[in-house]
Amino acid sequence: MTQLVVNSIYMATEGEGIHIGTPQIFVRFQGCSIGCLNCDSKETWDFDAAGLSLEQVLNEVETQAGKYPYRIKRVSITGGDPLHPKHAPQVEALAMELKKRGYYINLEAAGTRVLDSLFDSIDFISFDFKTPSTGVKTNIKLLEKVFVQYASKAQIKSVIADKKDFEFTYDTYMSLQQKHEYSLTTPWVLTPCYEPGEEFPKERFIEVINFNEAYGSPFRVIGQQHKWIHGPNKQNV
């Protein structure tokens, strides 16, 4: 079988989104061609890295998960872009095997692809909606599919750098809610942007909270606590 091109496997506490504060094993795939302008993990862009066999990745997850008296049973598959066609078959094989072993699987999806066979079989999908400051566009049909088909096991996440990002997110959300007669319930999280290398952007954070409150708080504002605690550049935390 093709090897899994993995950047790192490590235990850390989830630092963002609605599962913030939850310890888990992260399997970070190496390789992304999406090119967000404010990407904070450019070291994961290059696909040209050594691979590991599925067995090696599973062994590493099991070793790390088993190190603790209270065994960790959660895995977050992230990247890079774990749904890139170069990764997707290996990610799917990994997820299937981890599910058989009783792990709860979260997938960090970059918002450019939906893979039904994988989404159907895992526990949670964190799906990016790209804002103007990222320079990337999310296909609204894919976003809508996640809202409708995976409503109960997904969150949408948007990085907000400024008012333009907020208004673009709000307008998209409202047009989908109107289309679906205000029945969409999947949580949508706003993540105040950190520019690469930036220390805690307190003013921007307050601004994003203020935007949300001024519009009736349709979203949840959740920052990246690992960056507050460890600074913007520390890896694998």
Binding site for ligand SF4 (CB under 6 A): 32, 34-36, 39, 41, 44, 79-81, 110
Question: CB-wise, 34 or 176, nearer to ligand SF4?
Answer: 34
| Shortest Å, Cβ 16 to ligand SF4 | 12
Q: How many CB atoms lie within 10 A of CB 110?
A: 22
Question: CB-wise, 43 or 116, nearer to ligand SF4?
Answer: 43
Tell me the three state secondary structure of residue 160.
strand
| Shortest Å, Cβ 136 to ligand SF4 | 7
Question: CB-wise, 196 or 218, nearer to ligand SF4?
Answer: 196
Spatial strand order in the sheet of 154-160: 6-13, 23-29, 74-78, 104-109, 124-128, 154-160, 188-192, 220-221
Question: CB-wise, 41 or 177, nearer to ligand SF4?
Answer: 41
Tell me the sheet residues that pair with 76.
26, 106
| Shortest Å, Cβ 109 to ligand SF4 | 9
Strands 23-29 and 6-13, bridge-based pairing: antiparallel
| Shortest Å, Cβ 108 to ligand SF4 | 8
The b/e string for 136-146 (b: 16+ C-beta within 10 A; e otherwise) is bebeeebbbeb
